[in-house]
Structure 1
Amino acid sequence: MSSTQTLSAALKTLANYRAHSTRASQDVLAKGSAILRDGRPEAKLGDDAWAFLEQVFLAAIDVGNIEIADECLHKLSDKFPGSTRVDVLAGIRIEASESPEIALKFYDDILKDDSANAAVWKRRISILRRTGKIEKAVEELKEYLDTFYNDLEAWVELADIYSSCYQYSSALSSLSHTLLLAPQNPFYTLQFAETAYTANDIPLAFKMFSVCIEIAERDLEPGEVVRSKGKGKALAEDIDLDENAGEGISTRAWFGLKLCTRILLSTSSSSPSQTPIPKRKTIELVDELATERVLAVYSSNDGKGKENVRAWLGRS
């Protein structure tokens, strides 16, 4: 392969990484360094050069190659003087080699002139959390969300901080905002369900795992129909499933639902949850359906993994 073909292939790979938000830092740095050595990328790539330089800069920071990072940052700073986006990159460069206090001071100076700079504000919060200043991080994150309510990533971050401190009620409250902002995204519903399960609110987890499955499998082409004889409600009703529906988020939700049904069927005590517990017959039907779906995921697998899953499910 000629050097021109090699360069073209590298650029195509890097563009694909950017399109899919793939970090792949080692590979990005290897290919990016070769392109930088080959000559001025800004002259060869046109407008794509700046996205390329930012991509290589972040990869260099990840890997710890400060020399390449500085080269990319210098080119970006020359092209976009005073850019808030470049300011964030400069802050990341400071974080890589200086103390947290110096980085915080850098971000504070920017926020004094531009208090609505969301990217800088979030970098500052990340430093507070990373250095163990949890209460301050939560305080600033809540203040940030008062201004940027629609920032889903920030709500997830707040929920994660609360969960790390075992404050699951607060975590669920934060995640409820993600459900309002993105009601059709199964990822947030799954995270809410798993947090409810961790908080031992099994009826709520049962409900939200069910909702997650409904969302995740709603738009799939019907290749297989799993029926529950039309009894009960929610997942105890007919559900159309694609042959690959047991993968990814859907698989995880089916596992979670199976865990919930086991607990609900094995205990006779009343639940402190505000979510009503389904009728036992409904739980039994859902339990059977969850077992079938989990088994379907491993039906084509051989070996000990499949045997362990079948044993866990109580199937020989």
Structure 2
Amino acid sequence: MADVASALQKLATYRTQNNRASQETFDRGVIVLKSDVAKTIGEEGWAFLEQLALAAIDVGRTDVADQCLQLLSDKFHGSPRVDCLEGILLEATQTPEAALKYYQDLLNEDSANAAIWKRQISVYRRMGKVEKAVEELSQFLDTFYTDVEGWLELADIYSTCNQYTSALQSLSHVLLLTPQNPFYVLQAAETAYTAGDIPLSIRMFLMAVDMTDADDSVALADSTPTGITVRAWYGVKLCARRLLKDTRLSNSSASQTPAPKNINLIDELATERLRVAYSSPGKKGEIAQGRDELFAWAALI
């Protein structure tokens, strides 16, 4: 029982951290499943069975997934979550057409089943039916506007089709729904850069810096950029140099975003911030890797 308790604890940690860890989940989950304890521990047991079913599908053990789904179906017959799991198993074992038919039948019964609708869209995309996926996803977002994952998926589809302006429009909805997430701001900045809207891009990169750099109690000169902030400063540097090299870019913003003033100062600041990031001692006193390359790059452009 000690092994079972340890496995359950580890699996609960994976769920809390939203960590799929498919192989580890499967190995530990099988121990719990064989013990038959899942039926006796209430809500945690059902969450475990759902977690194990997904892991089993990931590692190709559909027999174990079937066993988990049977237990879940017996307890929650007709549950949308169980229907969705059965659809995922169907996707792994049958043709895409069979999965689409299954999802369509469920949507005919309940057209507002968001999880099933999103699974259907993912199947269309894997089949290469991009236009159909975009059509369905657009209709989905008209119904479920606040679904951030849906907008991110739509932006990703547009980006893979080199339609960066449309991707940026999708990301604008993401920023309206989650304005405090710096990762989405950074994604929008990079997409704007690829779309050629440099004034908008530098504005978004600077916004990402403002959201992730040291707090107001620490002077800029005393702070060291790390993580996402370093990436944002890279973007600021790239945009500043492009604006300096080609002044026409300042007046060619598709979003009508004005270029910031004092681009030279912004360029110098970005260079200084990147130098600080790559000059700071790392673990055990080691200088950050890539410092020389960064300094040479900053000097050249």
Query: TM (normalized to structure 1)?
Result: 0.87
Superposed counterparts of 1:248-259, under 5 Å: 248-259=227-238
Query: What is the match of residue 104 of structure 2?
Result: 108
2:281 paired residue number? 300
Percent identity over the alignment is 53
The answer as to 2:25 corresponding to 1:15 is no
The amino acid across from 2:298 in the alignment is L
1:138 aligned onto 2:134? yes
Kindly report structure 1 stretches of 4+ aligned residues shifted beyond 4 Å. Answer: 220-223
| Distance change (3 Å), C-alpha of 1:21 and 1:172 | same
Say whether the 8 Å CA contact 2:53–2:68 is kept in structure 1: yes
Q: Is the 8 A contact 2:281 2:288 kept in 1?
A: no
Match for 2:235: what amino acid? Answer: G
What do the CA deviations read for 1:54-113 (whole angstroms, capped 9, x no partner)? 111111111111111111111111110000110000000000010000000000000001
1:311 corresponds to which residue? 296
Q: Secondary structure at the match of 1:269?
A: helix
Q: Does 1:268 align with 2:268?
A: no
Matched, 1:193 2:189: yes
1:95-134 deviation line (CA, Å, top 9, x unaligned)? 0010000000000000001000000000000000110001
What residue in structure 1 maps to residue 178 of structure 2?
Answer: 182
Query: Are residue 208 (structure 1) and residue 204 (structure 2) matched?
Result: yes
What amino acid is aligned across from residue 25 of structure 1 in structure 2? Answer: S
Shift of 1:193: 0.6
Letter in 1 for 2:281: S
| Structure 1 residue 222, shift from structure 2 partner | 5.0
1:72-151 paired onto structure 2 within 5 Å: 72-151=68-147
Distance in 1, matches of 2:216 and 2:166, equals 38
Gaps of 5+ in 2: none
Partner of residue 260 from structure 2, selected from 278, 285, 295: 278
Alignment pair present for 1:37 and 2:34: yes
Gaps of 5+ in 1: 228-240
Q: What is the RMSD of the two structures over their aligned residues, measured on CA atoms?
A: 1.9
Query: In 2, are the aligned partners of 1:258 and 1:291 still within 8 Å (CA)?
Result: yes
Q: Which moved more, 1:146-155 or 1:68-77?
A: 68-77
The one-letter code of the counterpart of 1:35 is V
| Deviation of the 1:267 alpha carbon | 2.1
